[in-house]
Amino acid sequence: MSTWTSLWYIWLILLAVFLLLLCGVTASCMKFCCRKKRPPVETFPRHPHDLTVIPIDSDSTAHSTVT
């Protein structure tokens, strides 16, 4: 004698899933619309960087003080 109206927990689970799907669709639509309105921005500027590499030998004084 179980009908769909007496199974309230199934309706609750279905409502939660529906709300999660609705929030996901709304968020993706808002993200798509906001990205379409703004011009693309370069996230990383292309500036040359200097990189200094300091080699450490196994018998150097810096290595012996660390270990």
pLDDT at 1: 47
Q: One-letter amino acid identity for 58?
A: S
Give me the number of domains the chain comprises.
1
Phi-psi sector, 52: left (phi>0), alpha (psi -120 to 50), beta: beta
Residue-range definition of the domain harbouring residue 17: 1-38
* DSSP-assigned states of every residue in 22-47: HHHHHHHHHHHHHHHHSPP--SS---
- pLDDT tens digit sequence for 15-28: 999 999 999 999 99
Q: Establish if 64 belongs to a structural domain.
A: no
pLDDT at 25: 94
Query: Does pTM top 0.75 for this prediction?
Result: no
Cα-based angle 46, 52, 54 (whole degrees, multiple of 5): 155
